[in-house]
Chains A and B, each alone.
Chain A
Amino acid sequence: MKKLIITVVGKDTVGIIAKVCTYLSENDINILDISQTIVDGWFNMMMVVDASAAKKTAGDVCDELRAIGEGIGVQINCQSSEIFEQMHRI
C-alpha cells in the first residue's frame, strides 16, 4: 500500500474537502482516515489515503494537490507517510 498523508491548512471556506476529495476520487486514491477541525476560523485537516491504485506517481499527486491548494487559497501538503513513521517511531 502506498500511504500518503495530506494536510490542509488555511482560512475556512466552502468546498475545501469537496475539492480535495474530487481530485482523489478522479485519481483512484482511496481515503483511509480523515480528521478535521476549525480553530479561530482556520481550517485544519489531515487525511490518510491509499494511492496504490493511482496511475500517477506520488510526486505528481503531491504537486497537483499543492496546486489545487493554491487555487483555493489554502496550503496543501501531501507526503508519503513514511517520513512521519520514520521520524516519530523507533
Chain B
Amino acid sequence: MISRNEVIETNKMIEHENLDVRTITMGISLLDCCDSDVNILCGKIYDKILRYAGKLVKTGEEIEREFGVPIVNKRVAVTPIALVGGCACKTPADYVKIAKTLDKAAKEVGVNFLGGYSAIVSKGMTEADKNLILSIPEALAATEYVCSSVNVGSTKTGIDMDAVRLMGEVIKRTAALTAQRDSIGCAKLVVLCNAPDDNPFMAGAFHGVSEGDAVISVGVSGPGVVKTAIEKVRGADFETLCETIKKTAFKITRVGQLVAREASARLGIPFGIIDLSLAPTPAVGDSVAEILEEIGLESVGAPGTTAALAMLNDQVKKGGVMASGYVGGLSGAFIPVSEDRGMIDAVNAGALSIEKLEAMTCVCSVGLDMIAVAGDTPAATISGIIADEAAIGVVNQKTTAVRIIPVCGKQVGESVEFGGLLGKAPIMPVNGYSPAAFISRKGRIPAPIHSFKN
C-alpha cells in the first residue's frame, strides 16, 4: 500500500518542483508517402499525419488529467524530408511546399512543434539533400511549427565539411529572413553530429529510417526535483550526492515510463524509448544551472563546472536506465542558454562564455544550444563553431549539436526575447579571429581512428 508520505512527495514534486513530462513525441514514417508529383506527395503526407496523430493531443491531455502530472508538449517527428521529397522535389521551392504542408498538419493536430524537416548528410549530400538544405531559410520563414535539423557528421563517417560550410550560410540566411521576429527561424534549426534516430526533443527530432512505421517516445524532465533533492544533502560527500541524484532520476523516469506506456496503449502505437535528458525551462526553479550551483559552484561557468556537469549527467543516466525498459534519444543534461534562467544570469554576469559551454558539451548532451550571437557574425565563423562541435561529437562518439542565432541588428550587450519555452537570450561575444580559409577547404574530415572497430 502506498503511504501518505509517498503521495505527498509525488504531489510536492509536481506542484512545487516543476515535475512534468516534457514531451510525448509521435514519430511517423513518411516513406510510404513518396510520389513523383509534389502535390500528391503533400496530400499523402497531410493525410498520414492526421490519421496517426489526430488523437495525440487529446490522449496526452487525458493522461495528464488522470495521473495529475503535466505533459508540457505533444509533438510529431517525421522521416527526414530530404528522403521523402527526393523523388518529387527538383528545386528548393518544391521542398518549401512540403514544409507548408507539415505546418498545416501540425496546426490541425494541435502539436506545438513538428520535427523532421531534415537531411542526414554525414558523409555527402545528394542533390535532394542539397535542395532541402537550401530551402531551410524560406521553409522556416514561411512556417510556424516546423523544426529543421541537418546531421553533418558521425563517428563512423567523419565530418562533411561541405555541409558544415553550407550550414553557416543557411543559418545566416534563416536569420535574415526572420529578422523581423529577432531571427527566430534559427531557434528552430539545429546542426547535429551523431544524431540519434529516436530523439523526442526539438528542434532535432526526426523519425529515423531505422524506426518502424510509427512510435511513441517520451522526454522526461525535472531539474527542479533534482535541485530540491540535493539541497537536502548540502555538504555531504560525493557518494551521498550521487545516490541522491540517481534515486531522484529513477523516480522522474518512472513517471515518464508510465506516461509512455499509457500513451502507447491508448493510441495503439508501439512505445519506442524514454529520453532521460534533464531539460530546463525558463521558469524559476527549473534550471540545470541551478543544480550545478547547488552542487557547489558560485556560478555555472566557474572552474569545476565541467566536472560537476559530467557527474550530474552520469548519475541521471544511471538512475534513469533502471526505470525504463528502453532508453534512447539524447539522454543527458541539456544546457540551452536562453531556456535556462541560471544560464542567462551566468552569461549576464560574465561567468559563462561560449568557450566554457563548448567544454561542457564534451560531457553532456547536447551541444551549443540556443545561443544568441551578434547579427554580423560571419558565416565562416558560425561554420567554425559547428565544425568544433561536430569534432567533439565525432571523437567522443556522442551526439553534439549547434543551435545558434545570429540575431539581425543586435550586438553584444543587448538581449533578445523569444517568448515561451524558447526564453530570452543575451547576445554572447564570439572569438573575432577568422576560420575562413579552413572552412573554405572542400571535402570532408575523415573518420577518426577509433571508429574502425570491425
Contacts and interface: CB of A to CB of B under 8 A. Distances in A.
Interface of A: 5, 7, 33, 35, 44, 46, 48, 57-60, 62-63, 77-88, 90
A33 B68 contact: no
B66 A87 contact: no
A88 B4 contact: no
Contact of A88 (B6, B66, B67, B68): B6
A62 B68 CA distance: 8
Contact of A84 (B6, B62, B257, B322): B6
B65 A62 contact: yes
Contact of B257 (A59, A60, A62, A86): A86
Contacts of B236: none
Nearest to A84: B2
Interface of B: 1-2, 4, 6-11, 62, 65-69, 251, 254-255, 257-258, 322
B65 A59 contact: yes
B14 to A, nearest CB: 9
B4 A87 contact: no
A86 B68 contact: no
Contacts of B8: 7
Q: Which residue among B10, B62, B66, B251 has the maximum number of chain A CB atoms within 10 Å of its CB?
A: B66
Contact of B4 (A35, A62, A79, A80): A35
B406 to A, nearest CB: 43
A20 to B, nearest CB: 16
A83 B19 CA distance: 13
A79 B255 contact: no
A79 B68 contact: yes
A55 to B, nearest CB: 16
B255 A87 contact: yes
Contacts of A44: 4
B11 A7 contact: yes
B264 to A, nearest CB: 14
Contact of B1 (A33, A79, A80, A90): A33
Given A7-B7, A35-B4, A77-B11, A87 B68 contact: no
A10 B116 CA distance: 47
B79 to A, nearest CB: 32
Contacts of B10: 83-84, 87-88
B67 A79 contact: yes
Given A7-B7, A46-B7, A86 B255 contact: yes
Contacts of A84: 2, 6-7, 10
Given A35-B4, A59-B65, A84-B6, 6 more contacts: A7-B8, A77-B11, A81-B2, A83-B68, A84-B2, A86-B258
Given A88-B2, A88-B6, A59 B254 contact: no
Contacts of B7: 5, 7, 46, 84
A7 B2 CA distance: 12
Contact of B65 (A33, A63, A83): A63
B62 A57 contact: yes
A28 B423 CA distance: 46
A39 B352 CA distance: 46
A81 B2 CA distance: 8
B251 A82 contact: no
A77 B68 contact: yes
Contacts of A60: 65
A86 B254 contact: yes
A80 B67 contact: yes
Contact of B251 (A58, A80, A81, A88): A88
A82 B68 CA distance: 11
Nearest to B6: A88
